[in-house]
């Protein structure tokens, strides 16, 4: 994991969930500065007593509430139960992040990298891929952790795009995507018509024709690029 991150002596690293400090120690030996955020008070006290690196800043707090204020790389084992909100929080702070190297539940990683046609493809896939380029580097077996979880994990490299995938109304784009995937078993026409905010069924049909997308397709077959076309077509009414 450390080698994959390609750290240099100029890097500032944020580590989320340092636990007993196995990664923290190695990070501190390679990076210019390490900011380790640990929510568990007991673990924070343990780290404070056992890690004495001058370039290490230990924070006892919630990573979901931490505001990044400098250019960083992110490394860490994300807690499975809040992986999605933490990733969303990090992407919201993407202007300060060069890249992320994170361990997450294997199924969650599959959702991040999934493409159209996959059962794992979701609104989360679109959100992550709009702002970044996620890539699974390797699998981490559950017995590599203590205590061992019930499932295997994946180690991800997530490079932040210098610019989003394209220029569009991002708020509207993700509202359309979320609406579609909420009813993923329905056709894309039915999914959008279910939400009255997008207009009548007839209006939505015209917008779909204009964007080159068949209303009979299911949301899981529609690519991120096609969702962008749909958003742009909807802006023209």
How would you write 103-161 as a 3-class SS string? EEEHHHHHHHHCCCCCCCCCHHHHHHHHHEEEEEEEEECHHHCCCCCCCCEEEEEEEEC
Q: What is the pTM of this model?
A: 0.89
pLDDT in tens, 36-86: 999 999 999 999 999 989 999 999 999 999 999 999 999 998 988 899 999
Q: 143 with 228, same domain?
A: no
Predicted confidence at residue 135, as pLDDT, reads: 98
Confirm whether 7 is domain-assigned. Answer: yes
Which is more confident, 148 or 125? 125
Q: 165 lies in a domain? A: no
Instruction: Give me the percent of the chain exceeding a pLDDT of 70.
Output: 99
Q: How many domains does the chain have?
A: 2
Is residue 13 domain-resident?
yes
Same domain, 154 and 178: no
Q: Which residues form the domain of 118?
A: 2-160
Coil/strand/helix, residue 101:
strand
| Whole-number pLDDT of residue 198 | 87
Asked if residue 226 and residue 137 are part of one domain, the reply reads no
- The reported pLDDT for the residue numbered 237 is 60
Considering the domain architecture, whether residues 23 and 138 belong to the same structural domain is answered as yes
């Amino acid at each position: 994991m450390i080698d994959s991150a390609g750290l240099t002596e100029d890097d500032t690293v944020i580590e989320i969930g340092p636990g007993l400090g196995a990664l923290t120690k190695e990070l501190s030996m390679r990076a210019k500065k390490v900011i380790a955020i640990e929510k568990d008070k007991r673990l924070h006290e343990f780290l404070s007593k056992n890690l004495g690196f001058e370039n290490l800043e230990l924070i006892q707090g919630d990573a979901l509430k931490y505001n990044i204020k400098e250019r960083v790389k992110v490394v860490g084992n994300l807690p499975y139960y809040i992986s999605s909100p933490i990733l969303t929080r990090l992407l919201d702070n993407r202007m300060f992040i060069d890249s992320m190297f994170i361990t997450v539940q294997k199924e969650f990683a599959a959702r991040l990298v999934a493409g159209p046609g996959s059962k794992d493809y979701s609104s989360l896939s679109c959100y992550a891929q709009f702002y970044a380029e996620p890539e699974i580097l390797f699998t981490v077996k559950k017995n590599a952790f203590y205590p061992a979880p019930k499932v295997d994990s994946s180690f991800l490299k997530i490079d932040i795009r210098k610019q989003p995938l394209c220029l569009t109304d991002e708020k509207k784009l993700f509202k359309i995507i979320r609406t579609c995937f909420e009813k993923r078993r329905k056709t894309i026409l039915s999914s959008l018509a279910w939400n009255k905010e997008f207009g009548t069924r007839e209006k939505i049909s015209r917008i779909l024709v204009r964007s080159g997308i068949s209303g009979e397709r299911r949301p899981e077959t529609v690519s991120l690029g096609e969702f962008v076309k749909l958003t742009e077509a909807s802006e023209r009414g």
